[in-house]
Homo-oligomer: A and B are copies of this chain.
């Protein structure tokens, strides 16, 4: 019990210190453990089960669209990484190098994959000959390594889990359509599974992926007003195809280079989920990825019939939702706090009085509401309530984002928003890298994306005052 008490007491309020709140929550909700390995975290069962739910949904969407899973080696020989010039420049400074195998020094260093474009390219170059072999729509689930200097659980770790899709196509149009299609898959997943509203748009030249012609992104806003890139999709043109010689004979008999895409979604999304939905009592897990959707807490469980009823309810609810009974010997109040910390969407209380009245009490984690429900209606009520909670969480997150999205016409306004109001800054931009650099230098905000939904807020660039070409979302970011 002493341990439970600490569980509740030690969490730092988010308004006092958001970073510490985050660190407290990932430990207290038993999402991660630190290891003695620099910058790497242990993903504990409760968080891993969320990742499995994310994987299952995304994997189903990928396969529905004709993608196939493969597995590429985790090592990339240095010479292979170097084949595409921009790509190696972007990644070489942040990779881990294997230099010894067993007792032997290696003739060539191998990097632990930071991403696998080069491996997919090498394979495609060997296996594709004709337009009949196209498109190839491959994906892999794996872990990747980027040698980060400062790390935070889920948000930035030396090793993280992700999926990386890599596709090749006969035409530019087809590849571009794939790039946008997969961005839409990510956006739908974020909104429908994680209850996180996102802005879809294109990255600027400065912020795009190393080696890409165009990078598209979904951007979310965290509770502290900072932005987070939640998924990206890249169009490579023929850059990699030329570097790796991925050619095919087309219908017209000509030999051409393929057009290529890649797209990735990572365990960062769990960090986003925490920071979009959580509060000072802990996590709020969106129902559709929640490992436990309903926790049954027996009240006065020593009394006759209570545990039996809890078990019966578990069996019935188990047919429509992921459910757990906590019949440990802790006091109900401590259990309430524990599952609040873990963000379980619905708490079901059942005690002798409820049994007498043939009812249960449902408490919503998202808004604290309590509902009395006739026991007979429970199989119908639970799924409906889970959907209602999902929608309410999505709407709540959207309201916060809207409240924290502001328009800046000049740099004075821009600085004021970033310093005082925080959140997304919507501002027009001339398209020059110099202005992007200056904005970052002056405010710490980076361009998050040029949204697909363009508006004309002003005719001039927020920074230099020259003619504006694009609306951009800006913000300090994770």
- Give Cα distance in the complex from A52 to B62, angstroms: 15
Selected contact of A98 from candidates B49, B73, B96, CB within 8 Å: B96
A169 to chain B, nearest CB (A): 17
Selected contact of A71 from candidates B48, B109, B112, CB within 8 Å: B48
A458 to chain B, nearest CB (A): 42
Given contact pairs A35-B73, A73-B40, A76-B37, A99 touches B99 in the complex (Cβ within 8 A): yes
B93→A102 contact, CB < 8 A: yes
- Give Cα distance in the complex from A189 to B126, angstroms: 35
Confirm or deny: A466 has a beta carbon within 8 angstroms of a beta carbon on chain B. no
A99→B102 contact, CB < 8 A: no
Query: What residues of chain B lie closer than 8 Å to A44, measured between beta carbons?
Result: 70
Selected contact of A95 from candidates B51, B74, B99, B102, CB within 8 Å: B102
A42→B71 contact, CB < 8 A: yes
- Give Cα distance in the complex from A158 to B42, angstroms: 24
Query: What residues of chain B lie closer than 8 Å to A72, measured between beta carbons?
Result: 35, 42
Confirm or deny: A295 has a beta carbon within 8 angstroms of a beta carbon on chain B. no
B147→A77 contact, CB < 8 A: no
Selected contact of A69 from candidates B42, B49, B68, B103, CB within 8 Å: B49
- Give Cα distance in the complex from A99 to B49, angstroms: 33
A366 to chain B, nearest CB (A): 26
The interface bits of chain A over 125-168 (1 if a CB of B lies within 8 angstroms of the residue's CB, else 0) are 01100000000001000110101000000000011010000000
Selected contact of A97 from candidates B33, B95, B100, CB within 8 Å: B100
Confirm or deny: A119 has a beta carbon within 8 angstroms of a beta carbon on chain B. yes
Query: What residues of chain B lie closer than 8 Å to A126, measured between beta carbons?
Result: 33
Smallest CB-CB separation from A328: which chain B residue? B132
A35→B100 contact, CB < 8 A: no
Query: What residues of chain B lie closer than 8 Å to A101, measured between beta carbons?
Result: 38, 95-97, 147, 158
Smallest CB-CB separation from A68: which chain B residue? B45
A36→B143 contact, CB < 8 A: no
User: Contact size class for A?
Assistant: 35 or more
Query: What residues of chain B lie closer than 8 Å to A159, measured between beta carbons?
Result: 73-75
Chain A residues within 8 Å of B, Cβ to Cβ: 33, 35-38, 40-45, 48-49, 51-52, 68-77, 80, 93-103, 109-110, 112, 119, 122-123, 126-127, 138, 142-143, 145, 147, 158-159, 161
Selected contact of A52 from candidates B69, B94, B138, CB within 8 Å: B69
A342 to chain B, nearest CB (A): 14
Query: What residues of chain B lie closer than 8 Å to A102, measured between beta carbons?
Result: 93-95, 147
Sampled A-B contacts (9; CB under 8 Å): A36-B77, A38-B110, A43-B71, A48-B69, A74-B74, A93-B102, A97-B98, A98-B98, A102-B147
A41→B73 contact, CB < 8 A: yes
Given contact pairs A122-B35, A147-B102, A70 touches B94 in the complex (Cβ within 8 A): no
- Give Cα distance in the complex from A47 to B71, angstroms: 9
Query: What residues of chain B lie closer than 8 Å to A80, measured between beta carbons?
Result: 36
A57 to chain B, nearest CB (A): 16
- Give Cα distance in the complex from A159 to B112, angstroms: 12
Give the interface centre of A74, A80, A109, A127 by most chain B CB atoms within 10 Å. A74
B138→A45 contact, CB < 8 A: yes
With contacts A51-B71, A74-B74, A142-B143 known, what are 7 further pairs, Cβ within 8 A?
A: A33-B126, A36-B122, A43-B70, A44-B70, A48-B71, A52-B69, A99-B100
Smallest CB-CB separation from A72: which chain B residue? B42
A98→B70 contact, CB < 8 A: no
Smallest CB-CB separation from A98: which chain B residue? B96
Selected contact of A103 from candidates B45, B70, B93, B119, CB within 8 Å: B93
